[in-house]
Amino acid sequence: MNYHNKIEVWLLTLIDSKQVSANFLWSKSASQKVTHRRVLNELG
């Protein structure tokens, strides 16, 4: 594996892990919104 390929793989790994953490944060906030809506429905 040459130098250029190593950089490419490293970048792809970096982007992958960022995407994973972004998806995790998004699903977390989405589930919080659902919970918030549920609470509002019970109160209303």
Residue 11 has a pLDDT of: 86
Long-range residue pairs from 25-30, CB within 8 A, at least 24 positions apart, any chain: none
pLDDT tens for residues 1-44?
Answer: 677 789 899 888 988 888 888 888 888 888 888 887 888 888 87
Residue 2 has a pLDDT of: 78
Q: Give, in order, the Cα–Cα distances in Å from 7 to each of 10, 19, 24.
A: 5, 18, 26
Cα angle: 34, vertex 25, 12; to 5 degrees? 145
Residue 1 has a pLDDT of: 62
pLDDT tens for residues 4-13?
Answer: 789 899 888 9
Q: Whole-angstrom Cα distance, residue 42 to residue 44?
A: 6
